[in-house]
Homo-oligomer: A and B are copies of this chain.
Amino acid sequence: MKIGKVIGKVVSTRKEGNVEGLPILVVSYLDEKLSDTGRSAACIDTVNAGDGDIVLLCASSSARMTAKTTNVATDNTIVGIIDSVFAGSSFVYQKSKT
């Protein structure tokens, strides 16, 4: 999986592939230090992610392995909101408790 940050969204009314009702978010890929890699993707959201959230992305056919995305035309799905990332035993990131 990849680590990403939610930076926007996509709205599409004319679409195929059983994606009705599922948000399509724009996510930038982060590296293991949570630095921006300069790459991004449009991802189906299954966890109610919001702008700025650090998220876990699942690609390929496994993008369909959630209750909401079975039979959905998605090749990249947000499957988790990340609470923390560690390098060894040190925090790289900890979600603020607000």
Which residues of A are in contact with B by a Cβ distance under 8 Å? 1-3, 7-19, 24, 26, 28, 31-32, 39-44, 46-48, 51, 56, 58-68, 71-77, 79-89, 92
Contact = CB atoms under 8 A, between A and B. Distances in A.
B32 A8 contact: yes
A89 B60 CA distance: 29
A81 B12 CA distance: 6
Copies of this chain present:
5
A60 B75 contact: yes
A65 B72 contact: yes
Contacts of A39: 31
19 contacts: A1-B42, A1-B74, A3-B42, A8-B85, A10-B84, A12-B83, A13-B81, A13-B83, A14-B80, A16-B80, A17-B62, A17-B65, A17-B79, A42-B56, A51-B88, A51-B89, A60-B63, A62-B63, A65-B74
